[in-house]
Structure 1
């Protein structure tokens, strides 16, 4: 019995060896190689990411100062326009007639003012009656003569004073008339200018209300300025705690996922909104340069850089565990304590314990 049991055990062992050789293709199983990486010098960044939508932070409603028939419409929704471009016009016949009439009124008032100034100057320079009285004539009736002279001088002086006052009043009236005429001309020119809509800033047309031949008023075109385009993204409570104004952001659009557009944080809402018991805070990220193909309402992803360090030693974050890394030296692995500072999204900054070029295990021991 004992001999049989031993023989059976040997046979079973032989079978197991054969099966093992067959399953491994005849070669012994080698231990998996540990992934390694070099200690490098470069940048370490940490970001918070969120999804959002592209929208106009501010839009402008453009129209005419008065109603009229739309005679020219040069844009449609989606068009990109430059500042100063003529977007639309209405019939300006009546407005031009008002300007012509106002200009004639100004010319007439100016002529009247010129005449009033001349009359006022003439009245002021006219000599009094006493100034032309002949000298001498001392007689027995000297007192009476003197009295008559004084009376005549006084009458002449009063007449002179009245003439000057009338001329001064006429001059003031003429000046007021000219001022009113000029104001009317300014208003008429403003109304004429209001028959044309020009783009106040470069931007994109969001909406157009009206067609050529229809009556148009104060709301015809909606324009979003180039600098007014933002991504409104929602961040969690933990994420928004790291956000600050003017932080750099990278924006990704679904129609071109390989492109990264630069931007920055321009607004962080102080109050959050609750959705499914999760509080989120909205933040606005503005484009540094808005893409020409940008579509309002399209989705976008933003990654805001909340901290960064440049020109520092770093290793993959997966290599650091409890302040230690595994370093490979001359084919042997040894554990080494390191000091770290910034733990980024991919790499961790090393301040001591390693040198540039050291080989470390990326997943520790």
Structure 2
């Protein structure tokens, strides 16, 4: 009997245990809170989010055109600078001396060019010598004597030959003089033209040397080519500085490098708007844009991710390179449309409350956003619908 009661007692205990399990299994979940909202008109957006880090996409190494003693250093790492700001200087005395000498050379070359031009103009304007006319030979007309003889006084061989010799000699000397004068003038014009060309070349060379000297003088000062943030500075005042002194990241070169999944990157496009959140101030949203999407993904734990670069529309002054950031990219948007909470739509139907009574109604939906769903037909603005909540 004792054994039976023990067995029976065991059976009773087992039954009680089953009953407890059943009762526990029948516990009802927390009731779902039902509320009502009105159909509203507004914007529906769909976004994809990812985390990443702030980095400088491009950095500029700034330095001087020649080595020199650092006389001025106006920045330190982390400083925000504007375009054109003077960042550093080296001793410019020797570079200034070169500029002064080059300036004097240009002035001297200009004076020489003026003199050469004047000499050339004078040679071109010299009057041409008139040719010397040759002496004409005079032959008196022969007279006939009554006896039919001819006077021999004017036609003596000696007189005629002498006149001929004298006249011919004079004409040859005049032609030679004309040729010599023209040749001399041509030689003079050529000489002054050559001098003018040489003077112009000398001035060109002097001006080139001055340009180079001014460039070296300008290179004794480092100015910010763009506005941005100083990443690194090398050297101190009094030390020797050269071609690499300051590293600058431009404001437009700062990006968030974020990783997206395969499903998310399929919706990304260059130029899409984004909001950026930094961990030190999650309440502040910074506007940005998708500027680059890597075509090749990386595999980690069998999950493929793609890198996208999100640029800031305006880089905050407090931004720290390397800090984490979260981005939300708007992949689709519909503006000025009727919408309801997405939790109110079930398989193309919503529950509408009309005069205290609830009825199901078929609707045509459009963009399903992060929070709301676009309603293309089936509802009117102000309709009261039921939506589930906790």
Q: Does 2:224 correspond to 1:225?
A: no
1:82-132: CA deviation from partner (whole Å, max 9, x where unpaired) = 11111000000110000011011111111111111111122222234x427
Give the CA deviation at 1:80: 0.8
Question: TM-score, length-normalised on structure 2?
Answer: 0.81
User: Which runs of 5 or more residues in structure 2 are unaligned?
Assistant: 1-30, 138-162
Q: Distance in 1 between matches of 2:377 and 2:194?
A: 93
1:343 paired residue number: 368
Q: Of 235, 250, 275, which aligns to 2:300?
A: 275
Show the 5 A alignment for 1:1-365. Answer: 34-128=34-128, 130-131=129-130, 133=132, 137-139=135-137, 140=163, 141-363=166-388
Q: Is the 8 A contact 2:64 2:220 kept in 1?
A: yes
Q: Distance in 2 between matches of 1:90 and 1:250?
A: 43
1:2-38: CA deviation from partner (whole Å, max 9, x where unpaired) = xxxxxxxxxxxxxxxxxxxxxxxxxxxxx87523322
Q: Is the 8 A contact 2:267 2:331 kept in 1?
A: yes
Q: Distance in 2 between matches of 1:289 and 1:33?
A: 43
Q: Is the 8 A contact 2:131 2:175 kept in 1?
A: no
Moved more, 148-157 or 191-200: 148-157
Give the CA deviation at 1:39: 1.9
Give the CA deviation at 1:137: 4.0
Q: Distance in 2 between matches of 1:338 and 1:148?
A: 121
Give the CA deviation at 1:48: 0.4
Q: Is the 8 A contact 2:89 2:221 kept in 1?
A: yes
Question: TM-score, length-normalised on structure 1?
Answer: 0.87
Give the CA deviation at 1:164: 1.4
Give the CA deviation at 1:271: 1.4
SS in structure 2 of the partner of residue 362 of structure 1 = strand
Measured at CA, do residues 118 and 286 of structure 1 come closer, stay the same or move farther in structure 2, by a change above 3 Å? same
Measured at CA, do residues 33 and 103 of structure 1 come closer, stay the same or move farther in structure 2, by a change above 3 Å? closer
Give the CA deviation at 1:246: 1.3
Moved more, 193-202 or 142-151: 142-151
Moved more, 220-229 or 138-147: 138-147
SS in structure 2 of the partner of residue 181 of structure 1 = helix
Give the CA deviation at 1:361: 2.1
Give the CA deviation at 1:325: 1.7
Q: Distance in 2 between matches of 1:33 and 1:231?
A: 40
Aligned residues: 332
Q: Distance in 1 between matches of 2:339 and 2:246?
A: 54
Q: Distance in 1 between matches of 2:359 and 2:121?
A: 109
2:7 paired residue number: none
Q: Distance in 2 between matches of 1:68 and 1:208?
A: 16
1:206-258: CA deviation from partner (whole Å, max 9, x where unpaired) = 11111111111111111111122111111111111101121111111111100
